[in-house]
Amino acid sequence: MSTAYPFGFLDEYAKKEVRRTTLKAVAIPGYQVPYSSREMPMGRGFGTGGLQLTLALIGEGETLKVIDQGSDDSVNAVSLRSFIEMTCVGINTTTKTEEADLIQSRHRIPEKVLREDQLLILQVPYPDPLVVVEPSEDKRKTLHGEADYSRLLVKLYEDIVKFDEITISHRYPTRINSHYVIDSSPIPRWDVPKLHQSSALILFGAGREKKIYAVPPYTKAEPLAFEDVPFRVENFTDSIGQRRSCQRCNCTSSFLDEFIDSTTGEKVYQCSDTDWCDTQQSLNRSTQAATDSENVSKIGEIAHG
Amino acid sequence: MLAIDPVWQADTQQAHFRLLLDAMAYPGRCLILKTLPIDGGQVALSVLSTLLDAEVSLADPHKLLKDDDWKMLQTNSVAVDEADYILCTGSQFTRFTPKLGRLKSPEQSATLILVVDKLGVGDLKLNLSGPGIQYNKLLSVTGLAAQWLARREECNIAFPLGIDLILIDDTQIAALPRTTKVEIL
Amino acid sequence: MGYVAIKGGGQAIDETKKVFDYLRTRQSDTALPLDSNIIENQLRLLHSRVISEGGVYHPRLASLAIKQSQGDTLEAAFALRAYRSTQPRLLETPVHDTSNMRITRRISSAFKDISGGQMLGATTDYHLRLMRMDLLDESPEKFRAIAKQWLENTSVEHIPDTFPKVLESLRAEGLLPPIENNQVEVNQTQKNTAEAEPFDITREPLVFPVPRSAALATMARGEQGSLLAIAYSNMRGYGDVHPTVAELRVGYLPVFLPHPITGELTEIGEVEITECEVVAMYEEHSDESPQNKVHSNMNKTKPTFTLGYGACFGHNEVKAISMAILDRALQKGMADGPANPSEDPEFVLLHVDGIDSMGFCTHYKMPHYVTFQSDMDRLRATQQKSNPKE
């Protein structure tokens, strides 16, 4: 019994359906387009929606990056990447953001700014921001069609009254092209501004919920907020008001992971985006090397002065 | 030996789909097709073969396709007001009402494919703006009757309902999703 | 080809595969691997369940799925379903008539006796659930003798080829509406398909409201426990189907496809299925929702029984009965609006697929530390607001 798979694992009809759905998603920014969504060998909830997009879109000779929580080495990213390597013979994979043609990601948008020739595919567990205020999908579709998000705004307002803050952490509801409000997927608020006027097309795939939606390039993406309670990204300042830095590369401008070091037991902060961190580290090394060689020359000058 | 036209092959369709995706994401951008149908076949087949199968439907009111083309497409032939995809000659305007979608399901709307003479050159000069366009984009076209654009505007007046356009000349494609504002200069 | 080098995460995954297979094989120095035939024959009902939930009738691969997943029915169904995704659609069969079934079991609770007789077959319904300790030390000789003896003592001469459907007698008497009314399918999608075409859940997502065929197809490969739990809620009072089993039949349905040249319907094989038809009765109600005239069995003068239908691959009676009850409940919910969870199509149909539900349940074990970081940020900000520092 042979298990020879076609390129991209999915049969051509499945791919065509994903492709047609994606075109409509781009033409109707932020609208969740339904599709039949094939079962994949990994579980629903493990990125089957993002995966179907990648498999339907990627071509021989293209370069793919897969990350989870910003890291290429996270178990889920590793598992997805091996599957795509196995079923799409002829593609390249990379950890370097700037080398990738397609980036499939769970829960982060890379720190490096994406270009027009790159494609970002985000994995989505819950595509619909209105789920918190309306359990019936049929009713939600009417609200979306009419761009009626009053109940969602009321919910945000109730949060403010109760907690003096908007308490939504990730999956921040964001209005696209002044109509559809999307669930921005479990990216941190830190990443939401990257949706606005992006050079690259950003696609969202929800496999279990069977939806694809898109934020086209150069499109308005506005996180919901109030005049007196603005949208805020995560705060990385410490108790004395200093912005925390990455323990590895010293960066003070990236989203940081907070964890306990398994050997020292101390609290540690590190860049969530591992490729970004690696890049900062090598920049640090070359800056250090340049400074060192400058110093050596200076010492030489003084010595021979 | 049966020679299969590359437009029916999976790798060609993947490459052509990426061009279509780019065209829809960056409206007005003209992209060159990788392969054209052999033996002077209908150039629109490069696009139709990529998108169509038995799950969707096509209307060909200007009779641009041959019987053999329909057999290969394996799609459903329906009236123009029911079709998911509509193929027409750009220079010849025909008035009809395509599927515009419904408020709850705006994706159930037609994609209109217009075969024009030349993209990027011509007397019809369009100034485009909207999602996918950083500031504005100029697109010239030869062989597109301006009435198509007026009709498109009528169809797209009630977003999210509307239609999406794909333009195709002898070697290139471009797209105008319903979100693009078109100003005729 | 440039590939990313395997680092920590990849090695961890590799090790999980090794330890998983270690657990499968560590029995003893003289242990033998499970044979697919053993699974298909001696774990027949588990095998049926996996075929049914996997949604593809492939007995050999269903056995393999059970073997590789070490008996986890959700994982096994999952593997089969994923396999199904790789297979292209070749043809669609015409509508099949289950009165053609080669019956192995067939009963009716509605009548004491029925045409063709009550055939109990291989049921456990009347068994005493006592532990059969003698099976702990079953010798191969004793094992083989059982089947041999049963076959010797059984005569096949007077078994009819097919058995008539019990519902026919109810229809003949006018207690059930005639077939024409029940078969008209209101196609709720915008696709250009002729009326009375079944909804294909593998090709289109469920966009509510959905036609009855979509509900039945979803439940046919639904997870048995989920269907049972929701049907049970209806039985206990969160609903009022009050069903009577008109007929439950188990057996083999011959499958017909048109011959590639002559076009004549030709049998290509048979599939084991379980089918259950329940009848239920409703109080009179006067509203005639125009969408669902087919579901309201009231003409002005004569009420009739209403029908619930369930069918699935393999031998699985609990599933077929649960399906039939839910079919009736959902029809009521679609016509009158749901009064209970079991009558709500969105609630039922979106939560009974084992692959979807188990996948999402399992995903909570994946790294979520970036989102959790974001949550901690929000909580800290909120705590600060309620307890401002001096």
- Could you give the CA distance from residue A275 to residue A107 in angstroms, rounded to a whole number? 15
Residues of A within 8 A of C380 (CB-CB) are 235
Residue C288 has pLDDT above 60, yes or no: no
Same domain, A138 and A86: yes
State pLDDT tens for residues B172-185.
999 999 999 999 99
- Of the residues A223, A248, A283, which one is the last residue of a structural domain? A223
Same domain, A167 and A52: yes
Lowest mean pLDDT among A136-145, B66-75, C7-16, C255-264: C7-16
Residue A30 is among the residues annotated as catalytic for this protein? yes
Does the residue A24 lie in any domain? yes
Same domain, A64 and A177: yes
Q: Alpha carbon of C66 to those of A131, A245, C361: distances in Å?
A: 36, 50, 20
- Could you give the CA distance from residue C107 to residue C121 in angstroms, rounded to a whole number? 9
Is the Cβ pair C207, B78 closer than 8 Å? Answer: no
Kindly state the percentage of chain C with pLDDT values over 70.
Answer: 87
- Of the residues A169, A201, A223, which one is the last residue of a structural domain? A223
State pLDDT tens for residues A227-278.
888 898 998 998 899 999 999 999 999 999 988 888 888 889 999 999 999 9
Same domain, A194 and A293: no
Which backbone phi and psi does B176 adopt, to 5 degrees? -130, 95
Same domain, A293 and A188: no
- Computed over every residue of chain C, the mean pLDDT equals 86
Kindly state the percentage of chain A with pLDDT values over 90.
Answer: 66
How much is the ipTM here? 0.96
Cβ atoms of A95 and A80 closer than 8 Å: no
Residue A304 pLDDT grade (very low, low, confident, very high; cuts 50, 70, 90): low
Does the residue A30 lie in any domain? yes
Is the Cβ pair C86, A46 closer than 8 Å? Answer: no
Residue A277 is among the residues annotated as catalytic for this protein? yes
Same domain, A152 and A271: no
Same domain, A105 and A242: no
Same domain, A218 and A160: yes
- Could you give the CA distance from residue B71 to residue B75 in angstroms, rounded to a whole number? 8
pLDDT at residue C282 in the model: 58
Query: Residue A294's domain spans which residues?
Result: 235-305
**A103-131 burial, b for 16+ CB within 10 Å, e for fewer?**
bbbbbbbbbeebebebbbbbbbbebbbbe
Is the Cβ pair C367, A69 closer than 8 Å? Answer: yes
Residue A271 is among the residues annotated as catalytic for this protein? yes
Does the residue A301 lie in any domain? yes
**A197-219 burial, b for 16+ CB within 10 Å, e for fewer?**
ebebbbbbbbbbbbbbbbbbbbb
Query: Could you tell me the pTM of the whole model?
Result: 0.85
Q: Domain residue spans in chain C?
A: 14-84, 102-124+161-352
| pLDDT average, residue stretch A186-201 | 96
Q: What is the end-to-end Cα distance of chain A in Å, rounded?
A: 81
| pLDDT average, residue stretch C12-32 | 93
- Of the residues A195, A223, A251, which one is the last residue of a structural domain? A223
Is the Cβ pair A46, C363 closer than 8 Å? Answer: yes
Residue C218 has pLDDT above 70, yes or no: yes
Does the residue A133 lie in any domain? yes
Same domain, A69 and A200: yes
Residue C229 has pLDDT above 50, yes or no: yes
Neighbours of C152 (CB within 10 A): 7
Residue C284 has pLDDT above 50, yes or no: no
Apex C26 CA angle, C24 and C28, nearest 5: 130
pLDDT at residue C192 in the model: 30
- Computed over every residue of chain A, the mean pLDDT equals 92
Q: How many domains in chain A?
A: 2
Residues of A within 8 A of B26 (CB-CB) are 116, 217
- Could you give the CA distance from residue A134 to residue A142 in angstroms, rounded to a whole number? 11
pLDDT at residue C375 in the model: 87
Does the residue A6 lie in any domain? no
Cβ atoms of A206 and A33 closer than 8 Å: no
pLDDT at residue A170 in the model: 85
Same domain, A244 and A269: yes
Q: Provide the shortest C-alpha distance from residue A216 to chain B (in Å).
A: 6
Same domain, A64 and A39: yes
Cβ atoms of C310 and C322 closer than 8 Å: yes
**Paired tokens of C48:** 């049926």
Residues of C within 8 A of B76 (CB-CB) are 192
Same domain, A192 and A134: yes
Domain with A55 in it: what CATH number? 3.40.50.11310
State pLDDT tens for residues C77-123.
999 998 988 787 778 899 899 999 999 999 999 888 888 889 999 99
Helix or strand run (H / E) with residue A158 = helix A150-163
Lowest mean pLDDT among A233-247, A284-298, B87-101: A284-298
pLDDT at residue C187 in the model: 37
Residue C301 has pLDDT above 70, yes or no: no
Does the residue A105 lie in any domain? yes
pLDDT at residue C114 in the model: 85
State pLDDT tens for residues B150-173.
999 999 999 999 999 999 999 999
Residues of A within 8 A of B54 (CB-CB) are 13
Nearest C-alpha in C relative to B101 = C190
Which residue of the set A47, A50, A70, A271 is catalytic? A271
Does the residue A77 lie in any domain? yes
